[in-house]
Amino acid sequence: MTKPVIELKNVSYRYPDGTAALTDCSLALVRGSRTAVLGSNGAGKTTLFLHLNGLLHPAQGKLLFDSAPFDYSRAGLRSLRSKVGLVFQNPDSQLFSACVREDVSFGPMNMGLAETIVRQRVEDALEAVDLLDSADKPVHNLSYGQKKRVCIAGVLAMQPELLLLDEPMAGLDTSMQEHLTGILDELHSAGMTIIIATHDLDFVYSWADEAVVLQQGRLLAGGSPTEVFGRADVQHELGGEPFVAEIARSLSLLGIDLRDKEYIPRSTRDLLKALSMHSTKQEKCI
Amino acid sequence: MLTEQSAYTNRWRQVSPVAKGCFACSGIVAACAAGSPRAALLAALIISTVTIVGAGIPTIRYLRVAAPALTFLLASALSLLVSLDFDCTTGGMPFHLAKSEFPRVAAACSRSLACLAALLFLALTTPLSDTISLLRRCKVPDTLLDLMTLCYRTLFVLSEAVHETMVAQSARLGYATARLSIRSLGGLTANLTVQIWQRSQALHLAAEARGNDGTLRFLENRYDNSWQHAIIAAAAGVLLILFVVIL
Ligand SMILES: Nc1ncnc2c1ncn2[C@@H]1O[C@H](COP(=O)(O)OP(=O)(O)O)[C@@H](O)[C@H]1O
Ligand SMILES: [Mg+2]
């Protein structure tokens, strides 16, 4: 078992108005993994992310980075936030500068890096999200999807080890979502640990290594997506299961078992492939 | 928003803001140094021609941007020139043209025009983010510049919020009658107040998340041939000043 990069141990948090947003949450994330955090609106996903970035202090319990407890001193937070990048849900509330390139430079400038390094990182980050063309445009003339990518670039330019994305797919059209998935795949293959809060069950099923389900601030389930989505209480809480999982189950009831030893199709493409393999196998038998 | 568009698309977008700032300042100095209204008017004409021809701002757009300021100038000139005469015993027009005021009004107007032209030159050719980084180099206090940055950005965010709220209100007949309009405007104001508060909270959080602990620092745009451009602009500025002084 690899050592977790970031850990929550029995974390509880209450907002000043008394809302219990997190209750006794424990969680460990492995370096380089892809984790999805699921839960209905108000389940505590954003609150969880604010904790991971050190923006909120847990009322009870503690958080660990590389097995060391979070250091909430000024310097400690600075170093934590340069390692844990957080992209908020609403792009308009996190873009400061009117100019794309300037805004992306905000994080690395805060880290106190030399100008040449900042410049390089900004270009790299803009290239990673495919926004070099719009680098000199004013932010308010960009589309929603482009603004979202500026936000991601702004965090990537800090070169964090962990990337937290709060509902990145919300409000994006299908092609933008695919584009973003592509960016995420590249980041993952570059070794980044990625955590995403989302409502998109199909995306989670095909993308994530780990799925975590929150229910009113409590951890309902955690584990591999197949395992988590197989649970009845999770299906009840999320109001269903991924399309592919549902189809595969219906097919198996009809006697078509697509599961091949360890292999379970997790995306539509995999499902179709498994189906065609299954039919060729059947033909051979006949 | 027209200013904004021009600032990002004009022909001199890639010219260093130092050069543009230099020229605009010279314009203002020239306006103050001008010996006669004629000289100041000429300065205004030269600067606006430079803006329209040099930076390639369409004349119509230039006039539209200048229009509010011009209207204001016209109104104030008229109010200086024309005085109402309520003493009706003399009969005739109740208006009274103050002829003796004419030279003073002419001087004030022509100077204002030249200053306006100089400011418009800067506003129409330089994006505000460049202007702010220029001011930063001129050692303007950080707090002031941070305020400018945030106000500028918030302007667009809020104008969008206002627009969206108003559309939503209209869709439910919020502005169908005068009575309803007043009600809806009240609702809009209340709603905006809350939104401003929430957004400022969110911005603060987002700044912290990206490791900020005070002043907003950004990378400055880099410009090629910055020095050459600045020297040319300074030379042009000096010429302009000499020209209006001699004239
Ligand atoms: N600033 C706040 N003050 C008070 N309560 C809050 C605040 N932010 C969130 N909450 C409450 O905390 C709970 C969890 O919210 P959140 O973490 O935003 O959920 P999610 O991101 O999963 O939708 C909700 O009940 C929400 O109403
Ligand atoms: Mg949320």
Residues of A with CB under 8 A from a CB of B: 50, 53, 55, 74, 78, 81-82, 86, 88, 90, 92-99, 101-103, 105-107, 109-111, 115, 118-119, 122, 136-141, 154-155, 158
pLDDT value, residue B94: 66
pLDDT value, residue A261: 61
Q: Which of A55, A92, A152, A159 to mutate to test the interface with B (most CBs of B within 10 A)?
A: A92
Same domain, B87 and B169: no
Whether B205 contacts chain A with CB within 8 A: yes
pLDDT value, residue A44: 94
Lowest-pLDDT range of A77-81, A258-262, B70-74: A258-262
Lowest-pLDDT range of A148-162, B46-60, B221-235: B221-235
Beta-strand pair A34-38/A193-197: parallel
Between these two residues, A248 and A120, which has the higher pLDDT value?
A120
Q: Which atom of ligand 1 is nearest to the CA of A50?
A: 17
Same domain, B81 and B197: no
Same domain, B39 and B71: yes
Q: Do the Cβ atoms of A109 and B218 come within 8 Å?
A: yes
Query: Whose CA is closest to atom 1 on ligand 1?
Result: A15
In a 3-state reduction of DSSP, which class is residue A36? Answer: strand
Cα–Cα–Cα angle for B130, A150, B1, rounded to 5 degrees: 45
What is the ipTM, given to two decimal places? 0.78
pLDDT-based confidence at B10, cuts 50/70/90? confident
Average per-residue pLDDT for chain A:
90
CA distance B83 to B86: 10
Residue A125's Cβ-count burial label (10 Å; 0-12, 13-18, 19+) is: buried
pLDDT exceeding 90 applies to what percent of chain B? 25
Q: Which of B199, B96, B208, B191 is nearest to B153 (CA)?
A: B199
Q: Do the Cβ atoms of B208 and A140 come within 8 Å?
A: no
CA distance A121 to A159: 8
Let me know if residue B114 belongs to a domain.
yes
pLDDT value, residue B199: 85
Let me know if residue B217 belongs to a domain.
no
Average per-residue pLDDT for chain B:
86
Same domain, B60 and B159: no
pLDDT-based confidence at A260, cuts 50/70/90? low
C-beta separation of A81 from A87 below 8 A: no
Same domain, B91 and B155: no
Chain B (215-234) residues lying within 8 Å, Cβ to Cβ, of chain A: 216-219, 221-222
User: For the segment B66-110, what is each residue's pLDDT rounded down to a tens digit?
Assistant: 999 999 999 988 888 887 666 656 556 667 777 777 888 888 899
Same domain, B117 and B6: yes
Domains and CATH numbers, chain A: 4-240 (3.40.50.300), 242-286 (no CATH)
Residue B145's Cβ-count burial label (10 Å; 0-12, 13-18, 19+) is: middle
Lowest-pLDDT range of A61-70, A212-221, A275-284, B50-59: A275-284
Q: Do the Cβ atoms of A139 and B153 come within 8 Å?
A: yes
Distance from CA of B54 to the nearest CA of A (A): 21
Which residues in chain A touch residue B158, judged by CB atoms under 8 angstroms apart? Answer: none
Q: Which residues have a Cβ under 8 Å from the Cβ of B98 and sit 6 or more positions away?
A: B80, B81, B82, B83
Report CA(A7)–ligand 2 centroid distance (Å).
20
Looking up tokens 């065609």 gives A276
Q: Which of A109, A120, A142 to mutate to test the interface with B (most CBs of B within 10 A)?
A: A109
Q: Which residues have a Cβ under 8 Å from the Cβ of B109 and sit 6 or more positions away?
A: B37, B73, B77
Q: Following DSSP, what letter does each residue of A156-192 receive, concatenated?
A: HTT--SEEEEESTTTT--HHHHHHHHHHHHHHHHTT-
Let me know if residue B131 belongs to a domain.
no
Distance from CA of A117 to the nearest CA of B (A): 11
Same domain, B16 and B118: yes
Q: Do the Cβ atoms of B211 and A93 come within 8 Å?
A: no
Let me know if residue B132 belongs to a domain.
no
pLDDT value, residue A14: 95
Residue type at A204 in one-letter notation: V
Same domain, B121 and B19: yes
CA distance A237 to B215: 44
Query: Whose CA is closest to atom 27 on ligand 1?
Result: A42
pTM for this model (two decimals) = 0.83
Q: Which of B198, B210, B215 to mutate to test the interface with A (most CBs of A within 10 A)?
A: B210
CB pairs under 8 A between A and B: 105
Expressed as residue numbers, the domain containing B105 is 2-126+222-246
Let me know if residue B214 belongs to a domain.
no
Whether B67 contacts chain A with CB within 8 A: no
pLDDT value, residue A126: 94
pLDDT-based confidence at B243, cuts 50/70/90? confident
Q: Is the pLDDT reported for residue A211 higher than 90?
A: yes
Same domain, B118 and B226: yes
Let me know if residue B135 belongs to a domain.
no
At A234, list the tokens: 């999770």
Asked if residue A73 has its Cβ within 6 Å of ligand 1, the reply is no
C-alpha dist (Å) from residue B84 to A36, B81, B97, B101, B236: 75, 10, 9, 15, 45
Which residues in chain A touch residue B216, judged by CB atoms under 8 angstroms apart? Answer: 96-97, 106
Lowest-pLDDT range of A26-35, A194-203, A216-225, B143-152: B143-152
Q: Which of A156, A176, A135, A162 is nearest to A30 (CA)?
A: A162
Same domain, B110 and B198: no
Let me know if residue B228 belongs to a domain.
yes
Same domain, B10 and B61: yes
CA distance B155 to B196: 11
Looking up tokens 């390094």 gives A117
Q: Is the pLDDT reported for residue A110 higher than 80?
A: yes
Same domain, B195 and B242: no
Radius of gyration of chain B (CA): 23
Q: Which of A166, A182, A177 is nearest to A202 (CA)?
A: A177
Let me know if residue B134 belongs to a domain.
no
Mean pLDDT of the A81-90 span: 92
pLDDT value, residue A286: 66
pLDDT value, residue B36: 86
CA distance A125 to A105: 10
Report CA(A17)–ligand 2 centroid distance (Å).
17
Mean pLDDT of the B156-175 span: 83
Residue type at A97 in one-letter notation: S
Q: Is the pLDDT reported for residue B221 higher than 80?
A: no
pLDDT exceeding 90 applies to what percent of chain A? 62
At A8, list the tokens: 């929550």
Number of domains into which chain B is organized: 2
Helix (H) or strand (E) holding A163, with range, is strand A162-166
Query: Whose CA is closest to atom 24 on ligand 1?
Result: A42
In a 3-state reduction of DSSP, which class is residue B59? Answer: helix
